[in-house]
Structure 1
Amino acid sequence: MLKLTYTERSFYLECLSLSLEEWVTQRVILALRVGQSLCVEPSTASFLLPVDLPGVERLKSEVKRNDSEIMALSTCDSEYLEVTLQGSWLSNGSEEAVGVFVTTMSDRTEFFLQKIWQEAQACASAMSE
């Protein structure tokens, strides 16, 4: 399962070994126990990746072969590729863009997408220094 945590300024992508159903169930139970509002709804999430990252072409072929109903890749411009995922958005129900997005795909694609995202983060950090 892929989990994207959106904050006010950024987001973090991670692979989890739990199934989507197990993770959402645990999150709902937590919200009930602490008295927190929780809204779960079908949604999409998007983020950008540099097109010149090693592995982008391999990601494109993985998506075509295994996960085209869950993930779409679109060229934004000469520098960036947009990754759009189908899944579920969990938040406190407010209009803020703060919450967690979860989805599930083939394990191979999830792992590979996380690896490419981490490389993009490392490149962005190196460029900002």
Structure 2
Amino acid sequence: MLKLNYTDVGLYMERIMTNPELLIAQRVLLAMRLGQMLHVEPGRASFLLPADIPELEELEAALQREYNPNSTILLVDDASVEVNLSGCWMAESKEAQEGMFLALMSDSLSETLRERIERFIYKLWQMSEAHISSPA
């Protein structure tokens, strides 16, 4: 599963092997014990990648071949694409700009294929972060 953390300084993504339901339950329990509000809802999240990453075509082909309606890649402009994922949003309130998003791939995909696509998305995000932070 992919976990996207949206913070005031940007996006941080990580791959985690925890069961999504268990992670959500643990987060709800933590919020209750701390007396904090927690809003949990199904939704969609997106992030940008450079459009010139060569491996992007391979990801698009894999998503089209497997018809994964929970993940889409859309051209934003000449320089970037938007990767759009379905999953679960958790934040302090419905209007919060900061929170955690758990990207959940379609249950119709085999576990092996789901993990392969998640690894690939994560790899491309890491490559884009290295591309952004490297000096021009």
Query: What TM-score do you get using the length of structure 1 for normalisation?
Result: 0.92
Whole-Å separation in 2 of the counterparts to 1:94 and 1:26: 19
Partner of 1:41: 41
Whole-Å separation in 2 of the counterparts to 1:58 and 1:30: 39
Tell me, yes or no, if structure 1 residue 112 matches structure 2 residue 134.
no
Partner of 1:90: 90
Seen in structure 2, the aligned counterparts of structure 1 residues 91 and 114 have a Cα distance that, compared at 3 Å, is same
The question of whether the paired residues in 1 share the 8 Å contact of 2:72 and 2:84 is answered with yes
List alignment gaps of at least 5 residues for structure 1. none
Whole-Å separation in 2 of the counterparts to 1:61 and 1:87: 21
Whole-Å separation in 1 of the counterparts to 2:5 and 2:123: 16
1:94 positional shift? 5.2
- Find the residue that maps to 2:134 and give its secondary structure: helix
Seen in structure 2, the aligned counterparts of structure 1 residues 20 and 67 have a Cα distance that, compared at 3 Å, is farther
Whole-Å separation in 2 of the counterparts to 1:127 and 1:48: 19
Whole-Å separation in 2 of the counterparts to 1:96 and 1:20: 21
List alignment gaps of at least 5 residues for structure 2. 106-113
Partner of 1:122: 130
- Find the residue that maps to 2:118 and give its secondary structure: helix
Q: After the TM superposition, which segments of 4 or more aligned residues of structure 1 sit over 3 Å from their partners?
A: none
1:64-101 deviation line (CA, Å, top 9, x unaligned) = 13362111111111111111111111001152300001
Paired letter, 1:35: G
Whole-Å separation in 1 of the counterparts to 2:102 and 2:17: 12
Seen in structure 2, the aligned counterparts of structure 1 residues 75 and 84 have a Cα distance that, compared at 3 Å, is same
Partner of 1:79: 79
Paired positions, count: 128
The question of whether the paired residues in 1 share the 8 Å contact of 2:88 and 2:104 is answered with no
Seen in structure 2, the aligned counterparts of structure 1 residues 94 and 69 have a Cα distance that, compared at 3 Å, is closer
Partner of 2:12: 12
Whole-Å separation in 1 of the counterparts to 2:116 and 2:13: 15
